[in-house]
Structure 1
Amino acid sequence: MSVEETIQGTETAQLPQQRGESLLETAVRYAEERHWDVFPGAWLDAVDGVQRCSCRQPGCEAPGAHPTRPDWATQATGSATVARRMWQKQPNAAILLPTGRTFDALSVPETAGFLALARMERMELTLGPVTLTPDRRMHFFVLPGASVKVPDLMRKLGWAPSSLDLVALGEGAYVAAPPTRFGSRGAVQWACRPTPANRWLPDAEELISPLAYACGRDR
């Protein structure tokens, strides 16, 4: 698949939601079909015609797309039955996925992410799912353990970890899943959708070179 097709696929990835699939149904499907742990986050309420985060905090950085409690990690479940029960309590809750369990995520700026996708295509690398967020970040799903490996992998490539905007999200972190909305900024989308072909995730070591190169170009 070309990068152009990948970018166009971000719209296609939203089709299930357009056909009427609810957040509840999507969360259940992630648990059931991908075996990802899920947990409900904040949600958006209409206040005087404006979508505001349920946390009611002025200046919320991720309105409608963050955990609602400090012990959110204990709330995450891979059970479709439990997920259904949680979203029945708050059908508009964000769908959040904890990292460090079935996957880690390599987070890069959007511009670097698309540059890396083009390079990965030329290298014929096999990708896992990749999300594109309204705050202009891309998250590449990789095998767990990336957060431990990435600093050394970057040093081997000649980069100081602090010199690039490349962050490995592992245990204790999370990503927002499509079609979670970030307030008025829009919804999280799939840059590379979950498919049967990418059920088996790449190791961070396979993707770190094109990602580091792209982040270096994007500085």
Structure 2
Amino acid sequence: MEETLGVTGAGTIPSQQRGQPLPDTAVRYTEDRHWDVVPGVWLETAGAVERCSCGDRGCPAPGAHPADKNWAAQATGSATVARELWAERPTAAILLPTGRSFDAIEVPETAGFLALARMERMGMTPGPVTRAPDRRMRFLVLPGGARKAGDLVRGLGWSPRALGLKPLAEGAWIAAPPTRVGGQGTIQWARHPTPANRWLPTTEELINPLAYACGREPQPTS
């Protein structure tokens, strides 16, 4: 269900094919979308065993999380700096800080695809959307919008937690394609960054279809 692109044009991130260098893609994010990027951890192979560079054998997201607590200060929007950072760690995850060029609204994957179908029927153009092996999707919205999500959802009569809807604002991050989560799969685009979705939607525009889709999907009990 991933959206693919045939021709790469101005402002379009190239299709993420298996084996495409992470450094090149990180630089494209800074050049084409003006997004800040920061390298995260990476995967290491010892014998036939693949482990996260963080050293935690029980790491829940091997190869796809920040490398240290100062990750936000290391984020850069400079293509030159990005090249230098990934030259030092060429297999490091690509992390995109939220609360800068964009916020994100995270929802369960099934609800996310349902919401995308509903948006298409309504004639809406969503921004870029990622899908991850944890079966969660992240919808990019204008910065500052994620903090409104809770009140907006409650205004519709739902609880964000009950819906499995999570806002990602300043201080949070998302892993970007083609980062691989060891043993689980690869971060992909459900809706690719293109010139058509360069202007991100507001949280207010997306919250109705997202909440409706989440409300239709049974959520796991804790």
Q: Specify the TM-score bucket, using the shorter chain as the normaliser.
A: over 0.9
Contact 1:134–1:182 (8 Å) recurs in 2: yes
Question: What amino acid maps onto 2:101 in structure 1?
Answer: T
Q: State the match for 2:116 in structure 1.
A: 117
Contact 1:132–1:138 (8 Å) recurs in 2: yes
CA separation in 2, counterparts of 1:130 and 1:108?
Answer: 11
Structure 1 residues 16, 116: closer, same or farther in 2, change over 3 A? closer
CA separation in 1, counterparts of 2:89 and 2:49?
Answer: 19
Structure 1 residues 8, 173: closer, same or farther in 2, change over 3 A? closer
Q: State the match for 1:35 in structure 2.
A: 34
CA separation in 2, counterparts of 1:127 and 1:81?
Answer: 30
Q: State the match for 2:167 in structure 1.
A: 168
Contact 2:4–2:15 (8 Å) recurs in 1: no
Cα distance, 1:9 vs structure 2: 2.0
Structure 2, unpaired ranges of 5+: 7-12
Cα distance, 1:10 vs structure 2: 5.3
Q: State the match for 1:76 in structure 2.
A: 75
Cα distance, 1:99 vs structure 2: 0.2
CA separation in 2, counterparts of 1:70 and 1:185?
Answer: 24
Cα distance, 1:16 vs structure 2: 4.6
SS at match of 1:118: helix
Contact 2:30–2:78 (8 Å) recurs in 1: yes
Q: State the match for 1:66 in structure 2.
A: 65
Question: What amino acid maps onto 1:152 in structure 2?
Answer: D
CA separation in 2, counterparts of 1:15 and 1:151?
Answer: 33
Question: What amino acid maps onto 2:47 in structure 1?
Answer: D
Q: State the match for 1:139 in structure 2.
A: 138
Question: What amino acid maps onto 1:179 in structure 2?
Answer: P
Structure 1 residues 163, 147: closer, same or farther in 2, change over 3 A? same
CA separation in 1, counterparts of 2:20 and 2:91?
Answer: 12
Cα distance, 1:8 vs structure 2: 4.6
Q: State the match for 1:206 in structure 2.
A: 205
Identity of aligned residues (%): 64
Cα distance, 1:182 vs structure 2: 0.4
After superposition, residues 173-212 of structure 1 pair within 5 angstroms as 173-212=172-211
CA separation in 2, counterparts of 1:146 and 1:61?
Answer: 28
CA separation in 2, counterparts of 1:122 and 1:17?
Answer: 29
Give the CA RMSD over aligned residues.
1.6
Cα distance, 1:15 vs structure 2: 4.2
CA separation in 2, counterparts of 1:66 and 1:90?
Answer: 14
Contact 1:150–1:204 (8 Å) recurs in 2: yes
CA separation in 2, counterparts of 1:8 and 1:21?
Answer: 17
SS at match of 2:116: helix
CA separation in 1, counterparts of 2:14 and 2:34?
Answer: 20
After superposition, residues 87-102 of structure 1 pair within 5 angstroms as 87-102=86-101
Q: State the match for 2:17 in structure 1.
A: 17
Q: State the match for 1:3 in structure 2.
A: none
| Number of residue equivalences | 212
Q: State the match for 1:4 in structure 2.
A: none
Question: What amino acid maps onto 1:113 in structure 2?
Answer: G
CA separation in 1, counterparts of 2:112 and 2:16?
Answer: 25
Structure 1 residues 210, 16: closer, same or farther in 2, change over 3 A? closer
Question: What amino acid maps onto 2:90 in structure 1?
Answer: P
Cα distance, 1:151 vs structure 2: 1.1
Question: What amino acid maps onto 1:166 in structure 2?
Answer: L
Question: What amino acid maps onto 2:172 in structure 1?
Answer: A
